[in-house]
Amino acid sequence: MFLIIRHSICVVLPMKCPFCSNKETCVIETRESDEDTTRRRRECLKCKKRFTTYEKPNEFNLRVIKKDGAREFFDKEKIRKGLLKACEKRPISNETIDALTDDIERAVRNKYSQEVKSSVIGNLVVKHLKKLDSVAYIRFASVYREFTDLTDLQDEIKKLLKEKKK
């Protein structure tokens, strides 16, 4: 079904209006907002209110193999939460954390199609944090690499300082 609204063609697509729950809305404008996200500006045909939707393609079901051999579906939000915890009280914006999360997810999905070890993901996070902020890196590495005492922490700090001098 096509309608003409304000001298442009409107495609009526089934999308529930968040205001009145009508199921007929009109796509007014479409644009790519990220590499894999489509932004659509819509108008409800009943209440005439406008709203925006964001569409991403369905991701394939990548599974993560945990240290104990258990498998679970890849969850980008777990990476983000780990980064947020490591970067807590550091001068790192949420936008930077979101960008890092997206970079890590993209790297994993580009290289692995069905299964990936959790250690691969952890190493990617460590690599990105090392470049971004040394304190956040040490925080994450101490949990991820399971430091057992202060000498493990001290050794990691020494390695980091040597690399910074180069």
CA distance 16 to 52: 12
* pLDDT category of residue 130 using cuts at 50, 70 and 90: very high
If you average pLDDT over residues 139-144, what whole number do you get? 91
pLDDT digits (tens, 9 = 90+) for 100-121: 999 999 999 999 989 999 999 9
Residue 36 pLDDT = 74
Across the chain, mean pLDDT equals 88
pLDDT digits (tens, 9 = 90+) for 35-69: 678 889 999 999 999 999 988 776 668 999 999 99
Residue 46, burial from CB neighbour count under 10 angstroms (0-12, 13-18, 19+) = middle
Interaxial angle between packed helices 94-111 and 76-86, expressed in degrees from 0 to 180 and rounded to the nearest 10: 140
If you average pLDDT over residues 70-99, what whole number do you get? 95
Per-domain residue ranges of the chain: 2-55, 63-165
